[in-house]
Amino acid sequence: MTITKTVNGNEATLAIEGWLDTQAAPELLTELNHLEGNIDHLVMDFSGLEYMSSTGLRAVVVAHEKMKGNLVINNASSRILKIFKTTGIDKFVKLV
Protein backbone atom coordinates (compact mmCIF):
# COMPACT_ATOMS: atom_id res chain seq x y z
CA MET A 1 0.00 0.00 0.00
CA THR A 2 1.11 3.53 -0.68
CA ILE A 3 -0.33 6.68 0.86
CA THR A 4 0.09 10.09 -0.74
CA LYS A 5 -0.76 12.98 1.56
CA THR A 6 -1.78 16.42 0.34
CA VAL A 7 -2.56 19.25 2.75
CA ASN A 8 -4.47 22.37 1.79
CA GLY A 9 -5.14 24.64 4.76
CA ASN A 10 -7.13 22.67 7.31
CA GLU A 11 -7.97 19.83 4.89
CA ALA A 12 -5.83 16.77 4.24
CA THR A 13 -6.28 14.27 1.44
CA LEU A 14 -4.87 10.77 1.71
CA ALA A 15 -4.75 8.93 -1.61
CA ILE A 16 -4.51 5.24 -0.80
CA GLU A 17 -3.35 2.70 -3.36
CA GLY A 18 -3.06 -1.06 -3.15
CA TRP A 19 -4.36 -3.20 -0.32
CA LEU A 20 -5.62 -1.81 3.00
CA ASP A 21 -5.31 -4.98 5.03
CA THR A 22 -3.88 -6.25 8.31
CA GLN A 23 -0.32 -5.53 7.22
CA ALA A 24 -1.02 -2.06 5.78
CA ALA A 25 -3.59 -0.66 8.24
CA PRO A 26 -0.96 0.25 10.87
CA GLU A 27 0.73 2.49 8.29
CA LEU A 28 -2.57 4.35 7.74
CA LEU A 29 -3.10 4.66 11.49
CA THR A 30 0.41 6.12 11.85
CA GLU A 31 -0.33 8.60 9.07
CA LEU A 32 -3.56 9.62 10.83
CA ASN A 33 -1.67 10.14 14.10
CA HIS A 34 0.80 12.42 12.32
CA LEU A 35 -1.82 14.76 10.88
CA GLU A 36 -1.22 18.31 12.06
CA GLY A 37 -3.47 19.64 14.80
CA ASN A 38 -5.11 22.20 12.55
CA ILE A 39 -6.45 19.50 10.18
CA ASP A 40 -10.17 19.23 10.81
CA HIS A 41 -11.33 17.72 7.51
CA LEU A 42 -10.04 14.55 5.87
CA VAL A 43 -10.64 13.19 2.39
CA MET A 44 -9.58 9.63 1.66
CA ASP A 45 -9.21 8.98 -2.07
CA PHE A 46 -9.78 5.29 -2.75
CA SER A 47 -9.43 5.43 -6.55
CA GLY A 48 -6.30 3.25 -6.30
CA LEU A 49 -7.56 0.98 -3.51
CA GLU A 50 -7.85 -2.61 -4.73
CA TYR A 51 -8.82 -4.41 -1.51
CA MET A 52 -9.86 -3.59 2.04
CA SER A 53 -10.04 -6.06 4.93
CA SER A 54 -11.91 -5.67 8.21
CA THR A 55 -8.73 -4.21 9.73
CA GLY A 56 -8.69 -1.59 6.99
CA LEU A 57 -12.34 -0.88 7.68
CA ARG A 58 -11.46 -0.33 11.33
CA ALA A 59 -8.81 2.21 10.27
CA VAL A 60 -11.51 4.12 8.36
CA VAL A 61 -13.67 4.18 11.50
CA VAL A 62 -10.69 5.47 13.50
CA ALA A 63 -10.21 8.23 10.88
CA HIS A 64 -13.90 9.14 11.18
CA GLU A 65 -13.58 9.41 14.96
CA LYS A 66 -10.33 11.40 14.79
CA MET A 67 -11.92 13.89 12.36
CA LYS A 68 -15.07 14.12 14.50
CA GLY A 69 -17.17 13.10 11.52
CA ASN A 70 -15.45 15.32 8.95
CA LEU A 71 -14.38 12.42 6.74
CA VAL A 72 -15.18 11.96 3.07
CA ILE A 73 -14.38 8.84 1.04
CA ASN A 74 -13.88 9.56 -2.68
CA ASN A 75 -13.73 7.23 -5.65
CA ALA A 76 -14.34 3.92 -3.89
CA SER A 77 -14.93 0.94 -6.15
CA SER A 78 -18.28 -0.84 -6.17
CA ARG A 79 -16.72 -3.66 -4.12
CA ILE A 80 -15.53 -1.23 -1.41
CA LEU A 81 -18.87 0.63 -1.46
CA LYS A 82 -20.64 -2.69 -0.89
CA ILE A 83 -18.50 -3.26 2.22
CA PHE A 84 -19.46 0.18 3.55
CA LYS A 85 -23.16 -0.47 2.89
CA THR A 86 -23.11 -3.98 4.36
CA THR A 87 -21.47 -2.77 7.56
CA GLY A 88 -23.59 0.38 7.85
CA ILE A 89 -20.60 2.69 7.67
CA ASP A 90 -22.27 4.50 4.77
CA LYS A 91 -24.74 5.86 7.33
CA PHE A 92 -22.11 8.06 9.01
CA VAL A 93 -19.23 8.45 6.53
CA LYS A 94 -19.82 10.58 3.44
CA LEU A 95 -19.18 8.57 0.28
CA VAL A 96 -18.58 10.54 -2.93
- pLDDT tens over the chain, length 96 residues: 999 999 999 999 999 999 999 999 999 999 999 998 889 999 999 999 999 999 999 999 999 999 999 999 999 999 999 999 999 999 999 999
Decide if 28 contacts 20 (C-beta within 8 A). yes
Cα separation, 70 vs 72, whole angstroms:
7
pLDDT at site 37? 85
Residue 36 has what pLDDT?
86
The pLDDT assigned to 33 comes to 93
Phi, then psi, of 86 in degrees rounded to 5: -65, -40
How is the chain split into domains, by residue range? Answer: 2-95
Q: Classify domain 2-95 at the CATH superfamily level.
A: STAS domain (3.30.750.24)
Which of 68, 75, 69 has the alpha carbon at shortest distance from 96? 75
- pLDDT at res. 94: 95
> What CA–CA distance (Å, rounded) separates 7 from 84?
25
